[in-house]
């Protein structure tokens, strides 16, 4: 009788304990604290876009390194920079800001100096595309990242296109396209002068020393990056390129149109980067032995297989949020090798750009073996 009397109480205790356990399991994990970010330079035209997206729940801006008073004057009243300290010395900015990561909006030439300063402090660095102005700069950045156990990531607009994620899911010999034989990638706009980029951006964008080149580096990098991503970080055997200067008045010192051919044993990749499109574009076409896919914009594309008419589709892949993704990747502390932002990918891109620049200057096809070796990372 005593056991029967106690049974309801026992069941009640067990039920209550199970409810508490369920609540404990179901309780949402706390959101990570915002990533503390130092902005290194503001001379890049994408700085404004970053500030518009820099939600305080994702990133906390803890400092700005910008030695140019004119550039700082342009940005200092931005609401996102309220109360944020401006530094004119990079070492002091890194030492005093308490940053967890550095996002560079400088000219491309400064990327190496920023990594030189940040890597010994084990601070990850994100740069706007391309990674560097030369293969030698990129190789040193890779060495610094490896030596100090930190990350160097590269941001491309096209990394966040859902259509391009859909394409990646189609690839492979068993995919709807079959073995890929041709990739065409076009990127660019009407030109930085015609679209009236800011004077601080234009000052270095058409300076081949500060930018690496003209349209070749500014927009040729997109196709090289995408092809490298879709092909699983495969390197081409050789690169050939031709550059042009259609507007010597506005672009007296650099190319403003570039065609790059990447030569693989089983496919051909053609990249066109230009400042002379009639409109802005970043689109691709891939042709396999069984079908093709051609993008219209960041979400829309057409798929055609065999003799069937092209079928218009909208991407099913979700749009990744750049700042959220970078914050999570930095906290994971590992180069995301299979992502277009990875150092592994962009070292190959830099070898391609270096070979393309040399090919255009020397009027010959450049074996990629002439541009050193891409470091192999575990």
Cβ atoms within 10 Å of 281's Cβ, excluding its own: 15
Residue 154 belongs to a domain with what CATH number?
3.40.50.720
Q: What are phi and psi of 262, to 5 degrees?
A: -105, 125
Give the distance, in angstroms, between the CA of residue 121 and the centroid of all CA atoms in the same chain: 23
Identify which of 277, 209, 219 has the alpha carbon closest to the alpha carbon of residue 247. 277
Decide if 163 contacts 247 (C-beta within 8 A).
no
Give one DSSP letter per residue of 224-247, joined into a string: HHHHHHHTTSPPPSEEEEEEE-S-
**Residue ranges of E strands in the chain:** 35-40, 59-65, 86-87, 101-104, 125-128, 152-155, 180-188, 238-244, 257-263, 268-274, 281-288, 291-295, 300-305, 311-314, 366-367
Q: Are residues 166 and 306 both part of a single domain?
A: yes
Whether residues 177 and 152 fall in one domain: no
- C-alpha to C-alpha distance for 172 and 188, rounded to whole angstroms: 28
Q: To 5 degrees, how large is the angle CA 108–CA 286–CA 171?
A: 95
pLDDT given for residue 261 in this prediction: 98
Rounded to whole angstroms, the Cα distance separating 165 from 316 reads 9
* Amino acid 29: pLDDT: 59
Q: Identify the burial level of 78 via C-beta atoms within 10 angstroms of its C-beta, where 0-12 means exposed, 13-18 middle and 19 or more buried.
A: middle
- Which residue has 């920023």 as its token pair? 114
Dihedral (C-alpha) 353, 355, 357, 358: value to the nearest 10 degrees?
170
Residues 152 and 280 grouped into a single domain: no
The answer to whether 119 and 151 are in contact (CB under 8 A) is: no
Interatomic CA distance for residues 117 and 115, integer angstroms: 5
Looking at 158, 181, 214, which one is the last position of a domain?
Answer: 158
Examine residue 28 and state whether it is found in any structural domain, yes or no: no
Is there a domain that residue 241 lies in?
yes
Return the CATH number at 176: 3.30.360.10
Structure tokens at 63: 């400092």
- Helix (H, G, I), strand (E, B), or coil: what is residue 59? strand
Clarify whether residues 232 and 353 are in a common domain: yes
Instruction: Please give the average pLDDT of every successive group of 10 residues along the chain, which has 378 residues.
Output: 40 41 50 93 97 93 98 96 96 96 98 98 98 98 98 98 97 94 98 97 98 98 98 98 98 98 98 98 97 97 91 96 96 96 98 98 97 64
pLDDT of residue 31: 74
Which of 158, 183, 209 terminates a domain? The answer is 158
Closest CA to 267 of 305, 304, 221, 230: 230
Same domain as 291, residue 229: yes
Pair 304, 211 in one domain? yes
Q: Is residue 45 part of a domain?
A: yes
With beta carbons less than 8 A apart as the criterion, state whether 342 and 336 touch. Answer: yes
Residue that finishes a domain, picked among 158, 182, 213: 158
Instruction: Using DSSP bridges, classify how beta strands 180-188 and 238-244 pair: parallel, antiparallel or unpaired.
Output: unpaired
For residue 21, is it within any domain? no
Range of the domain at 107: 35-158
């Amino acid at each position: 009788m005593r056991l029967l009397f106690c049974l309801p109480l026992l069941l009640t205790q067990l039920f209550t304990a199970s409810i508490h356990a369920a609540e404990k399991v179901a309780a949402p994990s706390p959101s990570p604290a915002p990533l503390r970010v130092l902005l290194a330079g503001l001379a890049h035209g994408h700085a404004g876009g970053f500030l518009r997206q820099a939600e305080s729940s994702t990133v906390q801006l803890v400092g700005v390194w910008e030695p140019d008073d004119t550039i700082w004057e342009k940005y200092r009243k931005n609401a996102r920079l309220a109360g944020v300290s401006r530094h004119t010395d990079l070492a002091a900015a890194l030492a005093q800001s308490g940053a967890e990561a550095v996002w560079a909006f400088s000219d491309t030439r400064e990327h190496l100096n920023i990594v030189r300063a940040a890597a010994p402090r084990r601070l990850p660095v994100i740069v706007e595309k391309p990674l560097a102005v030369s293969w030698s700069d990129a190789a040193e950045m890779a060495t610094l990242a490896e030596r100090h156990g930190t990350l160097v990531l590269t941001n491309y607009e096209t990394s966040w296109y859902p259509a391009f994620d859909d394409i990646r899911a189609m690839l492979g010999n068993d995919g709807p396209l079959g073995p890929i034989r041709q990739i065409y990638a076009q990127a660019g706009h009407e030109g930085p002068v015609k679209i009236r980029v800011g004077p601080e951006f234009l000052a270095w964008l058409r300076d081949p020393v500060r930018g690496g080149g003209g349209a070749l580096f500014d927009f040729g990098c997109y196709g090289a990056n995408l092809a490298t991503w879709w092909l699983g970080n495969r390197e081409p055997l050789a690169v050939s390129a031709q550059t042009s200067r259609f507007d010597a008045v506005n672009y007296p010192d650099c190319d403003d149109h570039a065609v790059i051919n990447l030569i693989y044993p089983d496919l051909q990749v053609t990249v066109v980067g230009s400042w002379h499109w009639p409109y802005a574009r970043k689109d691709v076409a891939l042709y396999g032995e069984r079908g093709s896919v051609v993008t219209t914009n960041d979400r829309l594309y057409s798929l055609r297989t065999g003799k069937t008419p092209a079928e218009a589709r909208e991407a099913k892949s979700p749009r990744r949020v750049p700042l959220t993704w970078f914050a999570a990747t930095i906290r994971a502390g590992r180069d995301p090798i299979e992502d277009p932002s990875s150092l592994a990918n962009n070292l190959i891109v830099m070898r391609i750009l270096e070979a393309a620049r040399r090919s255009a200057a020397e009027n010959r096809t450049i074996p990629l073996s002439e541009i050193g070796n891409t470091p192999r990372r575990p």
